[in-house]
Structure 1
């Protein structure tokens, strides 16, 4: 396949051929399969033979119809077919040792392509110009409908998509893109305005990205915040070069996935995990502190009761009661934490208990 593709590119046949690898693979597969079917048969030519029958001729006739419907001329098809033939001959030349077998296979392949060309030309010449025109018109309508179907799919894609050509200019925006960044939110507005408005420059945020891409890179992903009609959003930007082995379309497809909600969900998850960790720690601390705190509080009140009111120690006992009360309030706040809030402390940060645990009594 690489060999015939090389010749197609070298001699400009790729301008009129498929851009996708599978189409070329199927063409080689079809010829090879038909060649295998034909090998057991006598392939030498005769002036009285019907060249519209047999595997090679049938394949040639089928291809004649297909290519004629696509607007391919007889000369154009036969020209490329010569390079298919040459590719197979070179395969024999380099893959089989010189000798009788190589000569035998070479003649078989030559006659196979001869018969395919005869079948092709017979079918081509048997049709009137009017029939060929009707075929072409029918196929053209099918192609237009297929184009419209894929354009509709392109416009319907939920994610914003932009097609960039090899000169880094916009080929097309889809509807989702225009809803977020474009001047018009009407589906198809970019495609059908071609030629009526100046060619669009690439979006500003891509100007600093595309020039820095490695030319060998076919797939590139990054995240970036962008200003849209709906506010600032975080996008995962996926840049992929077009899968065109014919080198006709060397641009790229850029797809934006809105991950704003995903980012928020991840932040909420982290926040929840932090709160759960804080609550577990706070619960353990409160449990461990409250018990000795109650003992201190109780013993202090007993000492205060059995001590003369005028005794100097009463002031110290009041201080102990006041501070243990504050400690009790702190443990209550720890148990009421509902969000993760911190404040600077020395070179780090600590939980801001007052902000993390709203005063429920005040709100009630």
Structure 2
């Protein structure tokens, strides 16, 4: 029996095609489901009790006059099938006729199984007994039910079918996409509310569901495509078209799918539309924005070119007279100083200092303008090492000051080493400058993490600033302290912000008057030793 069971379970697709072929040949598909899946399910539902029955010698004995259909599982299967098929409206002759072709399909499979003659005859007898018992059980159950009960069963079945139809009709009507069903004669047999609204300017799509008079021709805007698809060989097709109907235009993506019955016969076309008018409007807006951005980019490029021209003018035309003035000042303060009184020499000295500061300002302004154009050379930079180097340089420039530097070890990040050095030079230089009036100055560089974000910082205990003015620190040429208090041009922190932003990071500040300031910044792939803290270099007492 194992061989026959394996033959049946591995050939259900073949069985489905075989039985379906007999059903088509003898006209049964006109009265049964047109879905291939329904036929496949019926084969699976029949094969399971056949396999179970093959294992039972008791169930496959020849039919006798005193067979007990209630205790005989095969006959009982026929009884249950009778109840289900009767409620579906299947007649007894239709069922018995169709079962003949099911039986023939299984016997055909047996004959191609390659079994010995003796096994073939044994298996054939078992299959015949199985189908005989089903037919007897089915017929007995059918005859047991009187006409009144049959009518009641059919009414209940009709109610279920109506409920199912209404359920799917509700789904169909609720679809946001317009959908049409066009039959084989080219008439619209169904369309949902979205389609009625699109093509006919009304919501009363239900008018097209009932009666021959409610079968309109396809909408003129799609009639040619539907007719051409009906005679084509394609199963499906799709295209985009502007639909003009009911006084409006809509840009639609249209999908057409052939409806085929179980025999492969063409039954009509499903037409599904997707109104993409809004998307087309958005595409137009995006195109307009792209055009605007292109214009702005062109204007920006022109502005950059003008800025470069201005930089050239500043670096050459403006510096040349400054150089001349500085040179004459040096002559007046040098070889010619004996012919000038002390007050005049002081005036000339101030002129020379002003020229020097102006030259420094021009240099910083040019450096700031180049920050947005220089190419980044990304690599892993040791920020702790850079900070120590800057601390050493600051000490060398003013050996008399006592400042304690606290620098955290093993702080590393990804970026351009030269630009990151410029960031720390500006921040630590500012800290050095704004702690000038402190007897116990402390400048600290470290790293930390808060709310999942890693950052570096430079902190000092210097002059600080008003917390409300923190956002002004990074505005170019904006100074929170007067020039008489601390020298500078207001470009340093603006340069820091531009460099950090070019690295994809952020920069912000915290502080208070006479309580110091802390500048924070982020850079990619920042790492530091967990639990590490800035270490003092011991050059000044703790604040």
After TM superposition, the score normalised by the length of structure 1 is 0.75
Per the alignment, residue 359 of structure 1 pairs with none
Greater radius of gyration (CA): 2
Per the alignment, residue 40 of structure 1 pairs with 55
Is the 8 Å Cα contact of residues 161 and 254 (structure 1) preserved in structure 2? yes
Per the alignment, residue 151 of structure 1 pairs with 169
Instruction: Report 1:322-337 matches (<5 A).
Output: none
Give the CA deviation at 1:235: 0.4
The secondary structure found in structure 2 opposite 1:257 is strand
1:133 aligns with 2:151: yes
Instruction: Report 1:249-288 matches (<5 A).
Output: 250-288=267-305
1:201 aligns with 2:217: yes
The secondary structure found in structure 2 opposite 1:181 is helix
**Cα distance in 1, alignment partners of residues 76 and 112 from structure 2:** 29
Per the alignment, residue 326 of structure 1 pairs with none
The secondary structure found in structure 2 opposite 1:113 is helix
Per the alignment, residue 12 of structure 1 pairs with 27
Per the alignment, residue 184 of structure 2 pairs with 166
Candidates 73, 97, 105, aligned match of 1:87: 105
Give the CA deviation at 1:187: 4.0
Instruction: Report 1:94-105 matches (<5 A).
Output: 94-105=112-123
Is the 8 Å Cα contact of residues 52 and 119 (structure 1) preserved in structure 2? no
**Cα distance in 1, alignment partners of residues 227 and 189 from structure 2:** 18
Per the alignment, residue 59 of structure 1 pairs with 77
Give per-residue Cα distances to partners, 1:36-79, cap 9 Å, x unaligned: 11001120222222134333222211211111112111001110
Give the CA deviation at 1:84: 0.6
1:31 aligns with 2:40: no
Is the 8 Å Cα contact of residues 7 and 83 (structure 1) preserved in structure 2? yes
Change (3 A) 1:210 1:186: closer
Is the 8 Å Cα contact of residues 38 and 112 (structure 1) preserved in structure 2? yes
The secondary structure found in structure 2 opposite 1:63 is helix
Is the 8 Å Cα contact of residues 60 and 117 (structure 1) preserved in structure 2? yes
**Cα distance in 2, alignment partners of residues 52 and 243 from structure 1:** 41
Per the alignment, residue 248 of structure 2 pairs with 231
Give per-residue Cα distances to partners, 1:175-195, cap 9 Å, x unaligned: 111112126422411113x23
Give per-residue Cα distances to partners, 1:129-151, cap 9 Å, x unaligned: 11111111111121122222222
**Cα distance in 2, alignment partners of residues 142 and 249 from structure 1:** 28
**Cα distance in 2, alignment partners of residues 61 and 249 from structure 1:** 36
**Cα distance in 2, alignment partners of residues 251 and 219 from structure 1:** 12
Give the CA deviation at 1:279: 2.8
After TM superposition, the score normalised by the length of structure 2 is 0.51
**Cα distance in 2, alignment partners of residues 265 and 55 from structure 1:** 66
For structure 2, which runs of at least 5 residues remain unmatched after alignment? 1-15, 318-543
Give per-residue Cα distances to partners, 1:332-351, cap 9 Å, x unaligned: xxxxxxxxxxxxxxxxxxxx
For structure 1, which runs of at least 5 residues remain unmatched after alignment? 300-364
Is the 8 Å Cα contact of residues 19 and 248 (structure 1) preserved in structure 2? no
Candidates 234, 237, 244, aligned match of 1:220: 237
- CA-based RMSD of the aligned residues comes to 2.6
**Cα distance in 2, alignment partners of residues 176 and 135 from structure 1:** 37
Is the 8 Å Cα contact of residues 37 and 55 (structure 1) preserved in structure 2? no
Give the CA deviation at 1:11: 1.2
Give the CA deviation at 1:212: 3.4
**Cα distance in 1, alignment partners of residues 259 and 213 from structure 2:** 26
Per the alignment, residue 321 of structure 1 pairs with none
Give the CA deviation at 1:207: 2.9
Instruction: Report 1:97-116 matches (<5 A).
Output: 97-116=115-134
Change (3 A) 1:17 1:6: same
Is the 8 Å Cα contact of residues 17 and 246 (structure 1) preserved in structure 2? no
Instruction: Report 1:69-80 matches (<5 A).
Output: 69-80=87-98
Count of residues in Structure 1 that have an aligned counterpart in Structure 2: 299
> Does 1 or 2 have the higher relative contact order (CA < 8 Å, sep 6+)?
1
Give per-residue Cα distances to partners, 1:275-334, cap 9 Å, x unaligned: 3344334313311234426867997xxxxxxxxxxxxxxxxxxxxxxxxxxxxxxxxxxx
Per the alignment, residue 160 of structure 2 pairs with 142
**Cα distance in 2, alignment partners of residues 41 and 235 from structure 1:** 62
Give the CA deviation at 1:274: 4.2
Give per-residue Cα distances to partners, 1:151-206, cap 9 Å, x unaligned: 222222211111111122211222111112126422411113x2345x41122233
